[in-house]
Structure 1
Amino acid sequence: MHSMLSKAIQTYFDTSEIVTWKQVYGGDINESFYIRTASGSYFIKIQAAPPPRFFHSEKSGLDTIRLTKTISVPNVFHVYEDGEIGCLILEWISGKKTEQAAEKLGNLLALMHNHTGEKFGFANNGYIGKLPQPNQWLDSWIDYYRTCRLQPQIRLAEEKGLLPLSIFKKLNKLMQELEQWIPEKPKASLLHGDLWSGNWMAGENGEPYLIDPSVFYGHDEFELAFTELFGGFPAGFYHAYQEVNPLSKDYEDRKELYQLFYLLVHLNLFGKSYVNAVERIVNRYV
């Protein structure tokens, strides 16, 4: 492994010798490593036979966020995919999360959400976890949420036999009634797209960084709803966010409808332990 990592770095941008390296644990998709050379420190993600353009999609998302000049993202030094193996070489981020960093994240996320597009969607297809995330440009947020987010996950759950027929019938009914709760044309904010507590970090100076994005332009409430689903964000994060970008009074009415997408993703990734949560939300709206 040492020789492979050394070759990956030396071939593309850093010819100095590796001083130390270690495997970094925590993800369930890639093998990850910390590498320190005489010139700098790097984070390398490696995946055998990744889906097509998996790491290119991640780089595209990081680059898109970087262009907003709001929240920091790690520098991307190199991306490589040949069908048999893929790797992404990033800047190493080594700080510690604090309440202050989380508050700053909330403030900067709101500023990022103020970077808007004319339509909903994104130019490239992407991934959430290892699941494909289709994208296209649509004028209606309802149409985008239905066709590019809910429908693919519902279809996959059906193919895998993960939900009873009664829930599928209610999901299909819900898909035709989204306009009761979701606005058709909110501002089309740039979203990270997969913002749980494990997808942000802090640098040595306390500066927040976003990682592992699945970006697209959508309703900002969709992002905030996911941050609440599994917790991990302190109250100061939400307070700082709303000082810049106050949430609508109707947010609580549709929050779980946005969380439904992420529960379907987890159902498809991790199995039937998420069935009850999906059913509870479906029964609330149907």
Structure 2
Amino acid sequence: MWQALAEQISAELQCDFKVEQKHQLSTHSGNMLYHLKGQELEFFVKLNQREVLDSFDTEALSIGALTQRQCVRLPKVICAGQTLDKSFLVLEYLPMTNAHPYGWQALGHQLAFLHQADDQAMYGFDWDNYLSATMQPNQWQANWSTFFSEQRIGWLLQLLAEQHQEFGDIDKIVERVRQQLHGHQPKPALLHGELVRGNIGFLSEVPVLFDPASYFGDRETDLAYSQMFDPLPDSFFNAYNQVYPLDSNYEDRKDLYNLYHLLHHAYIRGGRYSWQARDLIRQRLL
């Protein structure tokens, strides 16, 4: 397998790359992660079963879309493909740290610039992608309340129902979400889509984002998720608001937007996340 992967890296870079060292990295995801070295080159590699290739392909497309805006650093995509028994995504290797005292402020500024960068008129994306390993539909929609209620909340409620996890009448919940967002038609922003500490690193003070699940949507969804479990520091939010101040009603929508991620955690982990999602739905939507 490693020989086949090295050959694909060599073909992409037009060089003769051979794996001289490989080190498996720890992860909480379903992927296997490796740091490869050879001929003074270093790469970060994700491996999974062959059927996961679509997830790697769409991640590469999201990285490309975000990189094209030239607002925030992301690892360069080298190649994605398959061996006989695995799919893979190869990225440049960046020796990152988890935090930097000035890096959070820089990230706040850069994310605000990213959210301002486009003049997109609709919500969605040119392709469906994945939130972790869960399919995320992105069909273009002109109305934000319809997009979020149907393709985010309604979609996950349907997946949960297939697991026999019930949260109430799906049509009723979707309609209540739509009503609560009625009249809120924000400027579509290109989102990271899964903005949490685990997907942020720093090259000295330079912020780096990775593992995106991008689409055009309300910028508040990025900010809401970044405050959900292990909130990003105040310096990040203060810097963001210096460039692109949040609407005064953001706090009212934050829990509604994070219901999407709470339902996703209920789908992949169940347990307390299911209980928390039910409580939030009862409080806000029933």
Q: Which residue of 2 aligns with 1:222?
A: 221
Q: Which residue of 2 aligns with 1:233?
A: 232
Q: Describe the SS at the equivalent of 1:263.
A: helix
- Tell me, in whole angstroms, the C-alpha distance in 2 between the residues paired with 1:176 and 1:52: 35
TM-score (norm 2): 0.92
Q: Describe the SS at the equivalent of 1:186.
A: coil
- Tell me, in whole angstroms, the C-alpha distance in 2 between the residues paired with 1:154 and 1:84: 33
Q: Describe the SS at the equivalent of 2:52.
A: coil
For 2:107, which of 79, 101, 105 is the aligned residue?
Answer: 105
- Tell me, in whole angstroms, the C-alpha distance in 2 between the residues paired with 1:225 and 1:259: 6
1:115-136 per-residue CA deviation (whole Å, 9 max, x = no partner) reads 2311000010101111111111
1:12: Cα distance to partner? 3.9
Report if the CA contact (8 A) 2:104-2:233 is conserved.
yes
- Tell me, in whole angstroms, the C-alpha distance in 2 between the residues paired with 1:196 and 1:2: 31
Report if the CA contact (8 A) 1:222-1:258 is conserved.
yes
Report if the CA contact (8 A) 1:44-1:90 is conserved.
yes
Q: Describe the SS at the equivalent of 2:103.
A: helix
Tell me, yes or no, if structure 1 residue 118 matches structure 2 residue 121.
yes
Aligned amino acid, residue 109 of structure 1: L
Please show how residues 97-176 of structure 1 align to structure 2 within 5 Å: 97-116=99-118, 117-163=120-166, 167-169=167-169, 172-176=171-175
1:121-164 per-residue CA deviation (whole Å, 9 max, x = no partner) reads 0010101111111111111001110221111100010110123x
Q: Which residue of 1 aligns with 2:193?
A: 193
- Per mean C-alpha deviation after superposition, the further-off stretch among 28-37 and 9-18 is 9-18
1:177: Cα distance to partner? 2.3
Report if the CA contact (8 A) 2:22-2:35 is conserved.
yes
Aligned amino acid, residue 107 of structure 1: H
Alpha carbons of 1:104 and 1:50: their partners in 2 closer, same or farther (altered >3 Å)? farther
Q: Which residue of 2 aligns with 1:211?
A: 210
Report if the CA contact (8 A) 1:199-1:212 is conserved.
yes
1:279: Cα distance to partner? 1.6
- Tell me, in whole angstroms, the C-alpha distance in 2 between the residues paired with 1:52 and 1:148: 23
For structure 1, which runs of at least 5 residues remain unmatched after alignment?
none
- Tell me, in whole angstroms, the C-alpha distance in 2 between the residues paired with 1:253 and 1:85: 44
Report if the CA contact (8 A) 1:120-1:140 is conserved.
yes
Alpha carbons of 1:273 and 1:180: their partners in 2 closer, same or farther (altered >3 Å)? same
Q: Which residue of 1 aligns with 2:89?
A: 88
- Tell me, in whole angstroms, the C-alpha distance in 1 between the residues paired with 2:8 and 2:26: 20
Aligned amino acid, residue 47 of structure 2: I
Q: Which residue of 1 aligns with 2:180?
A: 181
Q: Which residue of 1 aligns with 2:37?
A: 36
Report if the CA contact (8 A) 1:120-1:141 is conserved.
yes
Q: Provide the aligned C-alpha RMSD in A.
A: 1.9
TM-score (norm 1): 0.92
1:229-280 per-residue CA deviation (whole Å, 9 max, x = no partner) reads 1124111111111111111111111110000000111111112331121022
Identity rate of aligned residues, in percent? 25
Q: Describe the SS at the equivalent of 1:262.
A: helix
